[in-house]
């Protein structure tokens, strides 16, 4: 929320509004939007809260706060969120984004198997420019424009209406839960070489359930704990690759990096693995309401996280492909631990396996935080029943966490490749809606406050979205028939689910409400502030 200033006199309030209108008349490049919301006093009288936002037509420089603020007659009471939960600061936010997107090089091995060393290395240099940087920039602009929980759901709702906002929430939440089902699978894949019993059967099922329960409890305890846990786990998961890099220097053969075979590339596996390892930058937007000063903190965190993610992928791949003779069929999930053994011995392999384990823990808790706060944000907007907005005594979305954990358990039996392909397909649908919303808000509401604004105007906005949109088309085109059918069925469920929820609301079978401390999404503008 933006800062609140209290005015004790209604006369002063009227003068303030009059002056704002006068400013508008004298400067055609300014517009004033006024919103009044009802508040009940102790005596039962209705008081008015006036929200005034001066919106300048001139471009706001990147990262600059434009000074928009809420003005009220009386002090606006702090929301329950502010009372019960500590805000996330810059460093934990960087590592939360790191774990939303990456978590380290675990899971990139399939790119080498699919396309060889040269294309794997080029993929993690070029793909971020085509996809990660545009998505991070859009997240920075839209996340600071709408600094509240719900993130991309609110963006799409503001641009395209609540129906499509719900569809965005449905496909992105489902994609996130499917994505989170990967991490127990990857965790056990890295450990099964040391503990063969975890390769299948009852021990594997028990391990998946136990891991899910423990990490779900960490989410329940609070986002601040999750953030600093992400910092600690991030350092632990990166450190063994620093050591591996130092050990590998005498064994590096640069000629191995250039090996390629354009006639023997599994494009489906290659693109899906790249896409999965470099997306989900927008997931952090669903936590924007929990971030300290998100208008400044969020863009900075995204900038540093992009650098951290690209380095965490590229240099381990340089080490692995340059220091060890190529056997493409061995490059699969968990192969970095075998490379560690070749280069440094059993102790280094154990260290890498431990790093993989903690990395998957970090990715799990970060993704679950995003998914559960998204449901909370949707409930605060009246898109879901009110009980989804219920918070625990630690300030965490209790029902959202339980729903997300249940989805993870139900989907954890799928294979790694099936999970990646399915969540990528659904994620693509959500990103299409995001691109449309982003461009539409720029065209229709160019003067709306944007504390962080991507330069280039409307034309630059469209050009920024073209490369990732083309990439989405390519990823969808390479999907298998099975994945396409399952994903389209999931999308169809969302199209029907929203009218059913609205029917439940009209029949008053469940309680719905909209949080009073959030700006209104209106039909005549993205936000009435």
d(CA 452, CA 193): 47
Number of H helices, E strands in the chain: 18, 6
Q: Is 63 among the domain residues?
A: no
Scored b (16 or more CB within 10 A) or e, 363-372 reads bbbbbbbbbb
**pLDDT of the residue at 414:** 62
DSSP 390-450: -B-TTS-BHHHHHHHHHHHHHHTTS-HHHHHHHHHHHHHHHHHHHHHHHHHHHHH-TTS--
**pLDDT of the residue at 522:** 52
Q: Is 28 among the domain residues?
A: no
| 457 Rama class: left (phi>0) / alpha (psi -120 to 50) / beta | left
Higher pLDDT, 428 or 528: 428
The model's pLDDT over 210-227, given as tens digits with 9 standing for 90+, comes to: 888 888 888 888 777 888
Structural domain of 214: 90-507
What are the percentages of helix, strand and coil residues in the chain, rounded to 5?
A: 70, 10, 25
- Taking a C-beta distance cutoff of 8 angstroms, is the pair 479, 425 a contact? yes
Question: In 3-state terms, what secondary structure has residue 97?
Answer: helix
Q: Is 327 among the domain residues?
A: yes
Q: Compute φ and ψ for 452, nearest 5 degrees.
A: -120, 125
Confidence of residue 1 (pLDDT cuts 50, 70, 90): very low
CB contact set of 8 (below 8 Å; sequence gap of 6+): 73
d(CA 399, CA 405): 10
Confidence of residue 412 (pLDDT cuts 50, 70, 90): low
Q: Is 4 among the domain residues?
A: no
In total, how many domains does the chain have? 1
Q: Is 300 among the domain residues?
A: yes
Q: Is 420 among the domain residues?
A: yes
Average pLDDT, the chain: 80
d(CA 266, CA 480): 13
Section 85-103 average pLDDT: 89
Section 377-397 average pLDDT: 91
Higher pLDDT, 332 or 3: 332
Confidence of residue 69 (pLDDT cuts 50, 70, 90): very low
**pTM, two decimal places:** 0.78
d(CA 72, CA 518): 14
**CATH number reported for the structural domain that contains residue 381 in this entry:** 1.20.1740.10
DSSP 24-59: HHH-TTEEEEEEEEEEE-TTS-EEEEEEEEEEESSP
Q: Which residue has the tokens 């560690």?
A: 340
445-448: long-range contacts, CB 8 A cutoff, minimum separation 24: 445/525, 445/526, 446/57, 447/31, 447/55, 447/56, 447/57, 448/55, 448/145, 448/525, 448/526, 448/527
The model's pLDDT over 395-407, given as tens digits with 9 standing for 90+, comes to: 889 899 998 888 7
Q: Is 15 among the domain residues?
A: no
Q: Which residue has the tokens 């209790």?
A: 398
Q: Which residue has the tokens 């040269």?
A: 118
Q: What percent of the chain has pLDDT over 70?
A: 80
**pLDDT of the residue at 21:** 36
Q: Is 322 among the domain residues?
A: yes
Length of the chain counted residue by residue: 529
Q: Which of 282, 242, 305, 373 is nearest to 95 (CA)?
A: 305
* Nearest-5° Cα angle at 156, 296 to 523: 105
**pLDDT of the residue at 363:** 86
**pLDDT of the residue at 408:** 75
Q: Compute φ and ψ for 32, nearest 5 degrees.
A: -120, 130
Q: 525-528 and 520-522 as β-strands: parallel, antiparallel, unpaired?
A: antiparallel
């Amino acid at each position: 929320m933006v800062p609140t200033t209290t005015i004790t006199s209604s006369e002063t309030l009227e003068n303030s509004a009059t002056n704002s209108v006068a400013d508008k008349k004298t400067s055609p490049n300014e517009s004033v939007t006024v919103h009044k919301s009802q508040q009940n006093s102790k005596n039962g009288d209705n008081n008015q809260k006036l929200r005034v936002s001066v919106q300048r037509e001139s471009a706001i420089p990147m990262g600059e706060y434009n000074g928009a603020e809420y003005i009220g007659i009386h002090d606006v009471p702090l929301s329950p969120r502010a009372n019960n939960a500590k805000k996330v600061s810059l460093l934990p936010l960087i590592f939360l984004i790191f774990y939303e997107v990456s978590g380290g090089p675990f899971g990139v091995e399939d790119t080498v198997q699919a396309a060889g060393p040269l294309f794997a290395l080029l993929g993690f240099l070029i793909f971020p420019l085509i996809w990660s940087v545009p998505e991070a920039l859009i997240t920075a602009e839209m996340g600071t424009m709408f600094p509240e929980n719900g993130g991309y759901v609110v963006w799409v709702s503001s641009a395209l209406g609540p129906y499509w906002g719900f569809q965005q929430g449905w496909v992105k939440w489902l994609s996130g839960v499917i994505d989170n089902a990967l991490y127990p699978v990857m965790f056990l894949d890295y450990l099964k070489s040391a503990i063969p019993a975890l390769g299948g059967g009852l021990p594997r099922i028990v391990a998946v359930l136990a891991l899910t329960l423990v990490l779900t409890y960490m989410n329940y305890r609070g986002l601040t704990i999750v953030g600093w846990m992400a910092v600690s786990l991030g350092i632990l998961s990166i450190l063994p690759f620093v050591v591996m890099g130092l050990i590998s220097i005498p064994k590096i053969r640069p000629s191995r990096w250039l090996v390629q075979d354009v006639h023997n590339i599994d494009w489906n596996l290659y693109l899906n693995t790249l896409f999965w390892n470099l997306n989900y930058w927008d997931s952090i937007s669903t936590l924007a309401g929990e971030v300290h000063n998100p208008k400044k903190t969020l863009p900075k965190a995204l900038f540093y996280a992009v650098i951290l993610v690209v380095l965490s992928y590229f240099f381990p791949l340089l080490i692995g492909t340059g220091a060890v003779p190529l056997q493409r069929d061995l490059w699969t999930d968990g192969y970095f631990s075998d490379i560690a053994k070749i280069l440094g011995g059993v102790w280094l392999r154990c260290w890498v396996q431990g790093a993989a384990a903690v990395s998957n823990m970090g990715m799990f808790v970060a993704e679950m935080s995003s998914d559960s706060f998204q449901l909370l944000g949707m409930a605060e907007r009246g898109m879901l029943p009110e009980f989804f907005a219920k918070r625990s005594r630690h300030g965490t979305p209790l029902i959202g966490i339980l729903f997300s954990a249940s989805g993870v358990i139900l989907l954890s039996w799928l294979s790694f490749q099936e999970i990646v392909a399915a969540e990528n397909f659904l994620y693509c649908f959500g990103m299409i809606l995001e691109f449309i919303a982003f461009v539409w808000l720029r065209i229709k509401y160019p003067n709306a406050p944007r504390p962080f604004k991507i330069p280039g105007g409307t034309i630059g906005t469209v050009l920024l979205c073209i490369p990732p949109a083309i990439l989405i088309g390519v990823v969808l085109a390479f999907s298998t028939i099975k994945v396409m059918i399952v994903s389209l069925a999931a999308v169809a469920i969302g199209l029907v689910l929203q009218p059913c929820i609205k029917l439940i609301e009209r029949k008053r079978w469940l309680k719905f409400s909209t949080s009073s401390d959030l700006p209104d999404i209106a039909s005549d503008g993205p936000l009435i502030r």
